Structure 1
Amino acid sequence: MSSNAPGAPATNGDQSAGADVLVVGAGPAALAIATALLERGVTVAALALGDPRAPWPNTYGIWGEEVDRLGLAHLLGHRWSNTLSWFAETPCPHGRDYGLFDKDKLQRHWLERGEEAGLVWHRGRAASIHHAPCHSVVTTAEGKELSARLVVDASGHDPVFVHRPSEGPVAGQAAYGIVGRFSAPPVEPGQFVLMDFRTGHLTPAERLEPPTFLYAMDYGDGVYFVEETSLALAPPLPFAALKERLRRRLAARGVEVLEVQHEEHCLFPMNLPLPDLHQPVVGFGGAASMVHPASGYLVGALLRRAPDLAGAIAEGLADPQRPTAELARRAWAGLWPLEMRRKHALYRFGLEKLMRYPEGELRAFFATFFALPAEQWYGFLTNSLPLPALVAAMLRLFASAPGSVRWGLLEAKGRELALLGRVLKP
């Protein structure tokens, strides 16, 4: 039997003494839920495939208001007040701060808090799981057995243990980006660009192809981050196509790449169906389909919703005789209550519509969307609007949109009607 003292490196013993909760994973979702559970007095062990301190590869953005409410603004690496998008030849200012986490600080924040509270790390590849009435045992590929009253799978979008139904093609948001130095500023100094849909660098025929946009920001000291992004597509756009579009976009502005400090390849599913909420393993993060189906945001949701899930788990664990299946049922209900399930169906419906729009209608849609009152578009993007307010925002957008956008919203194809039906019966 082997375990780790707080702050000690992960080990590879033969068996765990058992914990209240075993978290599978070592990314943002795993650390967020492990920390939230520990803060409620729950004993937690975590299973990492590799070194849990290995650097995370991707960047994580969040709106300034959201991070301020969470009290985590000190974990930002960058923050911008000059925030805007381009849907036409004139900019659309957003009037809200946007921040980028210092991912190393964010990771250390969770690791240090977790290990100070007694988080036990184990390493190995989760291979199988066995459910007894009041505990579950995960066996690794190396033969190690880890026992816990409940297992939380936070291993990502393609989870190890969480099951979800198959409901057709899954749309992926793909992006290729670079951090580096350029011959001229790719965006104005001190500026953050959420979406730049301008297409002057494309031929008329290319504008009929699936649209992409530039996501870009000034890091300061002559360093910029530029990323060509496809909102969502099934199958997703290849990285090579995104890289070429980024090159041409920069070249059309007379900008050359002088130095590449970091290269980012980002691909994640946007419209995953909800998992089976009756299974005895609980998911969190991508494993629980928590990516915002219309905006792609996740980290803000992890920070806001981890306490709800942790609270439901801690309450269930208070009864030492409560079966694992009942613990999981309570946990799933805490993570995906009825209103959240209905909103998820609405967002998936919205994404289905957006994926059908050609470039011109997509520009018009977003121009209309960001002309909504700031609390409506912000609440939509962060999934923080109550359901009635979300419906009101969508109706207001429909009423104020151009005719071609309204027709696209009305036209029923594929699984859209089924998704609307889930708003009533999720």
Structure 2
Amino acid sequence: MFDALVVGAGPAGLAIAAALCDEGLNVAGLAPVPPPVEWVNTYGIWCDELEPMNLTHLLSHRWQNSVMYAAQRKVALGRDYGLFDNGKLQNYFLERCDRGKMVWHQGTAAAVEHFAHHSSVTTAEGTALSARVVIDASGHNPALLDRPKSEAIAYQAAYGIVGKFSSPPIDPQQFVLMDYRADHLSPEERRAPPTFLYAMDLGNDVFFVEETSLSNSPAVTFEVLQQRLEQRLAFRGVQVKEVQHVEYCLFPMNLPLPSLDQAVMGFGGAASMVHPASGYMVGALLRRAPGVAKTIARAVENPNASPESIATSAWQTLWTSDEMRKRALYLFGLENLMRFEEQTLQAFFASFFRLPRSQWSAFLANTFSTPEMLQTMMNLFGYTTNEVRWNLVRSAWNERALLWNVLVG
């Protein structure tokens, strides 16, 4: 029997598996296709999130010239941004798993049964695997976790291409976090949910350009995103000459938290770890996995500990009362952003990136405490326009249930 069984082999599954192996636990993994496998999506991160962990060597690209555009303004962000080399990131996790002699099993988790001192997962193929605790890291539609239902799921959606163009779609050696300029759209199109360009110069005349909907319910379709990207490029006189890769990205931003009293632990998208303000998660996986793994390692030292007690201690480490309060604040902000019309949204972001860099960077990384987050939000209220202020005040009443969750945790 294993100490821990990790379901899933994406970034979340490998992050928690590697951290558990670092703790000396006997770990097994379960995935339809065990690693190594190709991760096709691009994963970006601010470099100063990696520097304290000495992990900048996992990047394939790094940009010093990072900018955003909103409300007829170009804002130099003054912060280095990086793109993960997916192979290096995966190998970083797998090498730690290999040192821990982790065993991978091929299959799809179908059911879990809990006993006094272990749990047993049965696969769709009929295999049974037993472990002291099961960690579901199988993504936003988890295989084994229970989660409350919600009818109002908002999705981040993006359509992007890597390729060569008739002329540079952005400035050379530049990274564009957000370009909300919408002069290529008709007045009617500008009344639809806003989208922005996320783009980077990959060198050798290759660029990545992606039209992105930050969050919307229902999701903005890939067809609309592709059309808007083509309109944006054509308006600037840029033609696509060669397509090397097409990226489709769709994931939920505001999934309810899983039930935190269940005997299966979750990690990554399965545990609602997507940042509601940005959609980012890999930085959080890297920061949070070691602490969760240490908690699990301490819990399994007790031979009489039940799967529920082990999972409960891990849930309490991942979702502390302060983390849940912060999440309620982020969800309040997300609801605001989805209600803003395009002009208001642009004014909001132009104000947000006028905040001191230490504030907006910590806000986006989710490294603030609740009081620090509240102070940043009050500062933003002072920086922004009257139109944005009025919309925030109105939302504070409409979304008072979320704000109540900040108080009660």
TM-score range, shorter chain: over 0.9
Tell me, yes or no, if the aligned pair for 1:180 and 1:261 is still in contact at 8 Å.
Answer: yes
Q: What is the letter of the counterpart of residue 204 of structure 2? A: D
**3-state SS in 2 of match to 1:275:** coil
Q: Which amino acid aligns with 2:145?
A: V
Q: Which residue of 1 aligns with 2:283?
A: 300
CA contact (8 A) 2:195 2:211 kept: yes
1:40 maps to 23
TM-score when normalising by structure 1: 0.94
Contact (CA 8 Å) 1:154, 1:283: kept in 2 or not?
A: yes
Assess if the C-alpha contact under 8 Å between 1:133 and 1:325 holds in 2: no
Name the counterpart of 2:313. Answer: 330
Q: Which amino acid aligns with 1:127?
A: A
One-letter amino acid of the structure 2 residue matched with residue 70 of structure 1: M
Superposed, 1:133-172 pairs within 5 Å as: 133-172=116-155
What does 1:217-232 correspond to in 2, within 5 Å? 217-232=200-215
The aligned amino acid for 2:152 is P
Match of 2:393 in 1: 410
> What are the Cα deviations for residues 44-98 of structure 1, in whole angstroms up to 9, with x where unaligned?
1000111421201201000011111121100100000000000033310100000
Deviation of residue 142 (structure 1)? 0.8
Tell me, in whole angstroms, the C-alpha distance in 2 between the residues paired with 1:233 and 1:269.
Answer: 9
Q: Which residue of 2 aligns with 1:269?
A: 252
Q: Give the Cα separation in 1 of the matches to 2:141 and 2:90.
A: 21
- Cα offset for 1:415? 6.7
For 2:404, give the aligned amino acid.
G
Task: Select 1:204's aligned residue among 179, 187, 191.
Answer: 187
Contact 2:73 2:350 in 1 (8 A): no
In structure 2, how many angstroms separate the alpha carbons of the residues matched to 1:288 and 1:397? 29
Alignment of 1:224-373 (within 5 A): 224-373=207-356
CA shift in 2, pair 1:414/1:26, >3 Å? farther
Tell me if the contact between 1:30 and 1:154 (Cα under 8 Å) persists in the aligned partners: yes
One-letter identity of the residue aligned with 2:380: L
Q: Which segment drifts farther, 336-345 or 406-415?
A: 406-415
State the SS of the aligned residue for 1:287.
helix
Match of 2:361 among 332, 357, 378: 378
Residue identity opposite 1:59 in structure 2: T
Give the secondary structure class of the aligned counterpart of 2:389: helix
Alpha-carbon separation, structure 2, partners of 1:168 and 1:376: 33
Which residue does the alignment assign to 2:384? 401
Q: Which blocks of at least 5 consecutive residues in structure 1 are unaligned?
A: 1-17
* Aligned-pair CA distance for 1:285: 0.2
- Residues 163 and 180 of structure 1: is their aligned pair in 2 closer, same or farther, counting only changes over 3 Å? same
Separation in 2 of the partners of 1:324 and 1:220? 50
Kindly report structure 1 stretches of 4+ aligned residues shifted beyond 6 Å: none
Counterpart AA for 1:411 = R
Other-structure match for 1:105: 88
Give the AA of the match of 2:333: G
CA 1:33 to 1:185, structure 2 compared with 1: closer, same or farther past 3 Å? same
Q: Which amino acid aligns with 1:222?
A: D
Q: Is the 8 A contact 2:59 2:82 kept in 1?
A: yes
Q: CA RMSD in A?
A: 1.1
Give the match's secondary structure for 2:288.
Answer: helix
Q: Secondary structure at the match of 1:411?
A: helix
> Match of 1:173, SS?
strand
Q: Distance in 2 between matches of 1:281 and 1:194?
A: 36
Q: Is 1:129 aligned with 2:104? A: no
Give the match for residue 404 of structure 2: 421
* Identical pairs, percent: 56
Q: After TM superposition, give the deviation of residue 270 of structure 1 in Å.
A: 0.5
- Conservation of the 8 A alpha-carbon contact between 1:176 and 1:264: yes
Q: Is the 8 A contact 1:82 1:191 kept in 2?
A: yes
Corresponding residue number in structure 1 for 2:78? 95
Whether contact under 8 Å (2:156, 2:214) holds in the other structure is yes
What is the CA distance between 1:42 and its match in structure 2? 1.1
Q: CA deviation at 1:112?
A: 2.0
Secondary structure of the structure 1 residue equivalent to 2:160: strand
1: CA distance, partners of 2:292 / 2:96 = 18
1-structure distance, mates of 2:192, 2:397: 21
The answer to whether the 8 A contact 1:24-1:152 is kept is: yes
CA contact under 8 A between 2:12 and 2:268: conserved in structure 1?
yes
The alpha-carbon deviation at position 336 of structure 1 amounts to: 0.7
**1:366-398 deviations in Å (ceiling 9; x for gaps):** 001000010110001000111111110001111
Q: Distance in 1 between matches of 2:32 and 2:405?
A: 36
Shift of the alpha carbon at 1:413?
Answer: 8.0
Structure 1 residue 117 displacement after superposition: 1.6
Distance 2:103 2:398 in 1: 44
Which position in structure 2 is the counterpart of 1:178?
161
Task: Count residues with an aligned counterpart.
Answer: 409
Aligned to 2:6: 23
Per-residue Cα deviation, 1:280-300 (whole angstroms, up to 9, x for no partner): 000000000000011111000
3-state DSSP of counterpart to 1:68: helix
